[in-house]
Structures are given as C-alpha cells and as structure tokens.
Homo-oligomer: A and B are copies of this chain.
Amino acid sequence: MLIIGERINATRKKIAEALRAKDKAFIQKEARIQMEAGAGYLDLNAGLGSGDESEGLRWLVETVQEAGYTDICLDSANSAVLKTCLPLVKGKVMINSINAEKSKLEAMLPLFEGYTGKVVGLTMDDRGIPGDVATRVEIAEKLVSGLVARKVKVEDIYLDPLAQPVATDPNNGRIFLEAIVAIKQAIPGVKTTCGLSNVSFGLPERRMLNRYFLALAIGCGLDSALIDPTDAGMIAAALSAEGLMGLDQFCIGYLTAFRAGKIKA
C-alpha cells in the first residue's frame, strides 16, 4: 500500500518549532527517516494557524528537496498556497486535500487543469461529514467527476471516507469501512486512503486501536494511509494485513521488513 509519511505537520509541536526557527537539519532528518522507513510520499503541512502558510510550505518543500526527497504530498486546504507551491515540486506530487464544500471545491478545481499528480478527496461537503455510507459515496462521485472533467486519472484519486471516533458513535468505524468498500464498487479504479487517529479518540491505547483499524481497512480494500512510517507497530499492522489478505505474495514484503528489523509485534 502507498504510505504517505505524516510526521512533517505543523500541528506537531516540534515541527512547528523547526518551521518557525527554519531548522533545516531537523526537517531533513524527519524526511530521511520517513523515506527510509518506506514512505512513498512525504506529507508537508505548514499550517501554524498564524503567519504565511504559503511561505512556510514553500520552505518545507525546498528544505526536503535540498536533501533529495522530492516526492511530496502538499497538505493544505488553501488553493492559493497550493498554487504557489505546486510548481516547486521536482518529483511526484500529491495534493492533500480537496472536499465538496461548494466554495472550496470551486476554488480548488482550477488547480487540476493539466495536473498529472495524485489527489486526496475527503467525503464531506457543506453539511459536514455525512452519517451514512450512501451520501459519502455520492460525495465521492461528485469529487471524482469534477477531477476527471479536468483530466485527472481515476486511479490517481484517493478518496478518504473520514473515520470518526467510535467512542462518540459505535457505528463510526463500521460506516467508514463500509464506505471504503462501497466507494471502490461505485467508482471502478478509484483508490482510497485515510488518516487513522480520529477513530480512537477518547479511548486508551490509541496506537494499538489505530493499528487494528488499519488492518480492518486493508481487509476492506484500503489502498493508502497517512501514517508515521517510523512506527514499527503500524508498519507491522500494514504488512501483516497485506500478507493475510494475499496482497503481499508469499509475504515477501513482510519477511523483508522482518529481517530488516522494521516491524514490531
């Protein structure tokens, strides 16, 4: 599965500090450890909540590229920020994320004229995150049709049906998992992805719950996840589930990672 390395995110205190202090060495190390651990893309998020996000994201892109890491997932919901940073990316590029809120989608879609990278689409609109599977599928179809009209390939679109906490509503996890299955049935060739941390909000041993949730999602066909690839327990969950589902032929990936000491029970 495609792993998007989540660590370089300004909502994390140490990343915010490094971003403010322009600590290149710290950011480059964060890039290196994630790519060495198996990330396909580095998610870069410069949302400090104040200051110039565009300047911050530009600095992050340039900093990780200077160290040779050029496959980048630009993590911003601001079309102006993305417009500034997209031309800077030297390798493969991913946009994280668009959703179906009317004004935001209208601002975002023009970015995809001539775009050849990947994109994450969240199944929410002006009504918020729908409580049911069917409406998430409808929103997914709307996002895909807007992107495909601009010549984005279906297989480059990663839909995230947005997992919410099971502590709030016991159905939240199941609805997310059913939405993964339903979206892939409704839109042949489309991919799915997710962040994992919300589902376990409010419960003890969240990292463990997140690992089991990743396994369950892989069981439902999840293609990608925004995770910390240096978390050996999480990588173990992904490789175990892929091996058990027959997605890792003869468990080669599992065995290779085991021998390299990259997975942890």
Nearest chain B CB to A171 CB, angstrom units? 5
Q: Are B209 and A212 in contact (CB under 8 A)?
A: no
A173-B243, A205-B258, A216-B216 given; 14 more Cβ-contact pairs under 8 Å:
A170-B246, A170-B248, A170-B250, A171-B246, A173-B246, A203-B251, A203-B255, A205-B236, A205-B263, A207-B265, A209-B244, A212-B241, A213-B244, A215-B216
Which 5 pairs of residues, A with B, have the shortest CB-CB distance? Answer: A208-B265, A170-B246, A212-B240, A173-B244, A174-B246
Query: Closest Cβ of chain B: how far from A173's Cβ, in Å?
Result: 4
Q: How far does the Cβ of A222 sit from chain B's closest Cβ, in whole Å?
A: 12
Contacts of A254 in B (CB 8 A): 203
The digit string for A161-177, where 1 denotes a CB below 8 A from any CB of B, is 00000110011111001
Complex Cα distance, B214 from A216, in Å, reads 10
Expressed in whole angstroms, the Cα–Cα distance for A185 and B244 within the complex equals 22
Chain B residue at smallest Cβ distance from A244: B173
CB distance from A257 to the nearest CB of B (A): 10
Complex CA–CA separation, A166 to B246 (angstroms): 7
How many identical chains are in the complex? 2
Contact residues of A: prevailing secondary structure: helix
Chain B: minimal CB distance from A168 (Å): 9
Given A220-B219, A250-B170, the answer on whether A212 and B255 have CB atoms closer than 8 Å is no
Q: Is A199 an interface position by the 8 A CB rule?
A: yes
Question: Which of A172, A220, A243 gathers the greatest number of chain B CB atoms within 10 Å?
Answer: A243
Specify which chain B residues have a CB less than 8 angstroms from the CB of A174 in the assembled complex.
Answer: 244-246
- Tell me whether A166 and B258 are in contact in the complex, defined as CB-CB below 8 angstroms, given that A215-B212, A265-B205 are known contacts: no
Say how far A195's CB is from chain B's closest CB, in angstroms: 15
Contact check: which of B173, B199, B212 meets A237 at CB < 8 Å?
A: B212
